[in-house]
Each structure stands twice: as structure tokens, then as C-alpha cells.
């Protein structure tokens, strides 16, 4: 190997792309599905993780399995609970480096003219209003730190409609998550605070299980309509999560990264 080649190799340090040692992350919706997986992944990369959800027993089980996880009960639709979540994190760790707005709710397939308005508002409270509230609460700390990453969990249905599944509240809320991502990224870019969005395609989770089991719009329909001809597999969001949470994405903000088997490329 020449001196030039040796010098070039020594300039490449990839360890920082997956090393979250000393960083603190908040993950909402952490009692199952994507949220529980995200907690494990961030902890494996070295982060201290505050896992937030309503189901305390599941959070306790996760914390018993993953020592870096701190369980905090939080209903993200409750503004006071969100304030308490951020306050608890700052009291314990003194900083917040990553916020993963993952908590989500969905509506049963229904035409918009038949949509229950109370349920519509409940979906909006969890899927978009909570993202706004939590981002506004961690924003001042991240701005003071001159660093931070907000990762909003959207959906392919933040890019396209869901018909024939007819889930208007869900689609509207996920489109709003994209708008929130872009606006906050512009407001906070000069402070070195990044705001991005992951748009998963169809993955089987507790939230999506009823759809996967449906006879008419179930797994067979998902498989036929996804260019890669399958649903997502657990773990296929790990890479993009670590990319956005780590120094691998220091010049990436305001973006929506769809992990969808080609769904939105059609």
C-alpha cells in the first residue's frame, strides 16, 4: 500500500456513524411494534433511551430486557403528560439528543362521509398534534445544545392516498407529519437541529395486524401491490433510524425517507 493510500484510509472513520454513546433519545409508542424495536436499536448503538407509552407493564418488561432503557408512562395525546416526559428526561440526563415521534393511531377503513368525528380528532391528536407538542418541548434544549435530531415516523400514506382502504384520518395526519417535518427543519436548520421523517410501507405490527388479516385488503393485496412483492420485515428500518439519529446524517434535514419496497415509486 502506498503512503497516499494509507493516508486516505486513515481519514475514513465509520465508527461515528453508529456510535450514539453519551446521547439521550426519547421514543414514543415504545410498548410495541416499531417503538420497542427502535428502543433496542438505539440502546445497542450506545444511547440512553427514554421509552414512553401508556402500557407501563410492557415498558417495564422492555427496561428489564434492555438496561439502557428508562420507562416513562406517557399518553402523548395529553399535553401535560408530554411536558412531564420531557421534564423527566432532562432531570435525569440533562439533555435530549434524539426525539423519535413514533406513537401512532389508525382508523378502521371507512368512507369519509361516515367517519366518526371524535375518532378522527383522536387520530389527529396522536399522529400529528403530539409530534408538534413534543418537538416544541425538546426544541429549546436542542437549540441550546446546537445539536439534535427529531425523527418523525410518517408513512407511505404521507405521500399518497390509502384508497381502497379509505383511512382518511390516518392519511391526513401523515401528510401533516411531512409538513411539520419540513417546516421545523427550516426553522431549526441554522441551530444545527435536524428534522426528518421515515415513511414506512406495509410492515406487520400490532397497529396494522387487522389489515394484514383482512380477507379483501390483506397480505395478498399488499404483496400484489408492492413492487418488491412482499411486506416489510422487522429490522428493515434499523439502518435509516441509525442514519438519522447519528452523525451519518449531519447534512440531512427536511427529508422524507420512504422504506416501502417501492410503493411510492409507482
- The sign of the dihedral angle between the CA atoms of 188, 141, 122, 31 is positive
155/119 Cα distance (integer angstroms): 19
Q: How far is CA 24 from CA 81, 135, 146, in A?
A: 19, 15, 15
17: helix, coil or strand?
helix
Dihedral sign (CA 124, 118, 80, 53):
negative
- DSSP string across 28-63: ESTTSHHHHHHHHHHHHTT-EEEEEES-HHHHHHHH
Which of 120, 170, 202, 251 is catalytic? The answer is: 170
Active site residue 251: no
The number of helices, as runs of H, and strands, as runs of E, in the chain is 10, 7
| CA distances from residue 244 to 107, 140, 156, 197, 206 in whole angstroms, order as listed | 28, 20, 18, 9, 24
Q: Is 10 exposed, middle or buried (0-12, 13-18, 19+ CB in 10 A)?
A: exposed
Neighbours of 61 (CB within 10 A): 14
- In whole angstroms, what is the distance from residue 48 CA to residue 26 CA? 9
DSSP string, 140-180: HHHHHHT-EEEEEE--GGGTS--TTS-BHHHHHHHHHHHHH
Active site residues: 170
Amino acid at each position: 500500500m502506498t503512503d497516499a493510500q494509507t493516508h486516505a484510509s486513515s481519514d475514513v472513520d465509520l465508527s461515528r456513524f453508529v456510535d450514539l454513546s453519551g446521547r439521550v433519545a426519547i421514543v414514543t409508542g415504545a410498548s410495541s411494534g416499531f417503538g420497542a424495536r427502535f428502543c433496542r436499536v438505539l440502546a445497542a448503538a450506545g444511547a440512553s433511551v427514554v421509552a414512553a407509552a401508556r402500557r407501563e407493564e410492557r415498558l417495564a418488561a422492555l427496561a428489564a430486557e434492555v438496561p439502557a432503557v428508562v420507562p416513562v408512562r406517557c399518553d402523548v395525546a395529553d399535553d401535560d403528560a408530554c411536558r412531564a416526559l420531557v421534564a423527566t428526561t432532562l432531570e435525569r440526563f440533562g439533555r435530549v439528543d434524539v426525539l423519535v415521534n413514533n406513537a401512532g393511531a389508525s382508523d378502521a377503513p371507512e368512507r369519509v362521509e361516515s367517519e366518526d368525528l371524535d375518532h378522527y380528532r383522536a387520530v389527529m391528536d396522536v399522529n400529528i398534534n403530539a409530534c408538534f407538542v413534543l418537538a416544541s418541548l425538546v426544541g429549546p434544549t436542542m437549540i441550546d445544545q446546537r445539536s439534535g435530531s427529531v425523527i418523525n415516523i410518517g408513512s407511505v400514506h404521507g405521500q399518497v392516498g390509502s384508497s381502497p382502504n379509505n383511512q382518511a384520518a390516518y392519511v391526513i395526519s401523515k401528510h401533516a407529519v411531512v409538513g411539520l417535518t419540513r417546516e421545523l427543519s427550516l426553522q431549526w436548520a441554522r441551530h444545527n437541529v435536524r428534522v426528518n421523517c421515515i415513511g414506512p410501507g406495509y410492515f406487520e405490527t400490532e397497529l396494522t395486524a387487522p389489515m394484514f388479516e383482512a380477507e379483501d385488503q390483506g397480505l395478498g393485496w399488499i404483496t400484489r401491490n408492492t413492487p418488491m412483492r412482499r411486506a416489510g420485515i422487522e429490522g428493515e428500518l434499523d439502518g435509516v433510524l441509525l442514519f438519522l439519529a447519528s452523525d451519518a446524517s449531519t447534512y440531512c434535514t427536511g427529508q422524507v425517507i420512504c422504506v416501502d419496497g417501492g410503493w411510492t415509486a409507482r
